[in-house]
Structure 1
Amino acid sequence: MSYDLAVWEGARPADDRTAGRVFTDLYDRYLDGGPEEPASERVEAYVAALLERWCDVTEDEEGTAPWSAGPLINGASGPLVYFGMSWGMAEEASAYAAGLADSMGLVCFDVQQDRLRP
């Protein structure tokens, strides 16, 4: 089981309910069923920045990466990236990922709690 976040380009939704609808629409369009697209430049830069902090799980020889699947970029399509973290590192990694998204002008959504991350 993993703790999942979604990060996307666009205006920050007004509230959690709206964010949930935006996430569902983006997920359906870019990751579930439709042809996947290459990650946008901003999403690609975001994933690269995450991987500067922790290596990809596919390259993790010491067991320190928080990601539940890899390569991490495989969860990205167009303006959206959806990724999971192991529960043991979810608090630290999700806080970092949310702060990084905010600093890069991206929206971060907590999929388990159906809420925007500050």
Structure 2
Amino acid sequence: MSYDLAVWEGERPADDKNARRSFGDLYDRCLDGEVKEPPSERITAYVAALLERWCDITEDEDETSPWSVGPLIDGASGPLVYFGLAWDRAEEASSYAAAVAESMGLICFDVQQNRLRP
């Protein structure tokens, strides 16, 4: 089990309810559909920024990576990336991921709490 976040491009939803709807629509279109798109440039840059801080779990020889699956970029399609964090690292890593998303003008949605971050 993992702690999941979704990050996407677009205008910030007005509230958590609209964010849930936006996430659901994007997930259905980008990740649950028959054809997966290559990640957008901004999402690719976002994932790269996360991997500058912690390596991909597929390359983690020291077991320091907070990601629960990898390669991390595999959770990206078009304007959306959906990824999991290990529970014991979720607080630190999700805070960092949300801050990076905000600094890049992206939307961060906490899937467990059904709320926008930060």
Distance 1:24 1:36 in 2: 16
Distance 1:81 1:97 in 2: 12
Consecutive unaligned residues of structure 1, counting only runs of 5 or more, are none
Once the two structures are superposed, what CA deviation does each residue of 1:2-48 show, in whole Å capped at 9, x if it has no partner? 00000000000000000000000000000012310000000000000
Partner of 2:21: 21
Partner of 1:12: 12
Q: What is the TM-score with the length of structure 2 in the denominator?
A: 0.99
Consecutive unaligned residues of structure 2, counting only runs of 5 or more, are none
Specify the code of the residue in structure 2 equivalent to 1:86: A
Partner of 1:88: 88
Q: What is the TM-score with the length of structure 1 in the denominator?
A: 0.99
Question: Which portions of structure 1, spanning 4 or more consecutive aligned residues, are displaced by more than 6 angstroms?
Answer: none
- The equivalences for 1:45-60 within 5 A come to 45-60=45-60
Matched, 1:32 2:29: no
Paired-residue identity, %: 75
